[in-house]
Structure formats: C-alpha cells, structure tokens
Amino acid sequence: MKIDVLTLFPRMFDGVMGESMMWKARHHNLLDFHAHDIRDYSADKHRKVDDTPYGGGGGMVLRADVVVPAVEAVLGGESGVPVILMSPQGRLLSHDVAVELAAHPRLVLVCGHYEGFDERIRQLAATDEISIGDYVLTGGELAAMVVIDAVLRHVPGLLGAEGGQERDSHADGLLEGAHYTRPAVYRGLGVPQTLQDGNHAGIERWRRRSALRRTWDRRRDLLLKAELSEEEQYMLGEFADEDSRI
C-alpha cells in the first residue's frame, strides 16, 4: 500500500513511521510512505500557505491555491485515489472504515491546521473527510497517524503470526474480552481455569462470554447492532440477573 500525507509538519511523522508496526510495514515493503510539506507548493516567496477568512472571524484558513496544486502534484495524474481531509467534520473512523480504506492500493491524507480548509479544497481535491472523534486537535497530523495505524492492521501479511485482528474490539461489533498470560497467579489473582484446560471449544466460549460481558458493562449500545446467537442472548439475560443481585 502507498500512503502520501500532505502536512505542514512532515517531521512529526519521523518517529512514528520508524517504529513498531509502521517500521515493519516499510521494512517488508508492505507500505510505501511519504510525507510532503505543503509549504513546498506555495508560490509565495515566504512559503505562505494560509490567509485570513473572508467575512472576518478568528484564525487562519489554508489556501486552496496551495493545497489543491499540492494534491495534484502528489497524485501525479493518477485517478481513483481516495484523497482524505483529516477533519473533525468528517465521518467517524471505525473498524469498518479502516477495512474499507485498506482495500485501496493508495491513499492520500491531507492534514489541516489553523482554522481549517478553504471550502474549495473540498470541492476540487478531496473525495472524503475523516474524523477520529468528536473533539478538535491543533492539526490533522496525529489523526493521520491514527488512521494509518488502523488501516495497516488490515493489510495482508503485516501482522502475520502476531495477528488476531478478527478478535479485536469492534471487529465483530463487540469489545474484546479479557486476556491473561504468565504467571498463573499474581498477587492472589489467578487465570481462569478454563483458559488452562486446553479445551478449545471451552476456551472459545469463555472468550465470547468475556467479550459479551465487557461490552455489556462498558458499551451496551453496541449490543443493539451486534448479531447474537440464542446462546449469546441467553448470556445477556444472565448478566442482567447477576447485576440485579449486586
């Protein structure tokens, strides 16, 4: 997969893209990543990229006559590439959105800053907008890093034996259940015996019940959309009975 990021602060990506799974993806040629400085596409001798908004108001706005040529230059005439503005006005990043984006061979992410984008950038260059939450950051760089990480988890061959994303939180509409590793007992707290017995069917049932319980406790709203078997619906009834006795 190829990912291009347009940003005013390309060096922000140096550390993140050189560590952990990002480094692995690049090292194994699963990711071709480039951070482009938007200032390089400014025609102004001072490399100015923003200006005051028409109609007044606070803040500065990124100029269309800088960002649009920057996107076009990075695309190099290639069509059909998603050009995504990182914006609190965009659709919310989710597991399904990450899977959708991972299906594309190339993505272009544009990081906003200051007060936002000139509206003509949306009209002339962007195909999508994505938000990572209902809050505002000082710029789109951190959001772009989150999107890249979420997307790369679904690129074939990246996780390899470290996989298990099918059990990740939100992968099947539920939160992920509890995990344990050695030691078997720590400060009086032990690992559930089911996980130590080697009965794979029992382990899978325990994990599903754990995921359901955690979702019931923390994000009950997700259960309204999850596809549950009769046994799983019965488990929810057990949770309700258990809670009523507390």
Catalytic residue positions, numbered: 88, 115, 153, 168
**DSSP symbols for the chain:** -EEEEEES-TTHHHHHHTSHHHHHHHHTTS-EEEEEEGGGG--STT---EEPPTT--SS-EE-HHHHHHHHHHHHTT--S--EEEEEEEEEEP-HHHHHHHHTSSEEEEEE-BTTEE-HHHHHHT-SEEEESSSS--SBSHHHHHHHHHHHHTTSTTSSGGG--GGGSTTTTSS-------S-SEETTEE--GGGGS--HHHHHHHHHHHHHHHHHHH-GGGGGTS---HHHHHHHHHHHHHHHT-
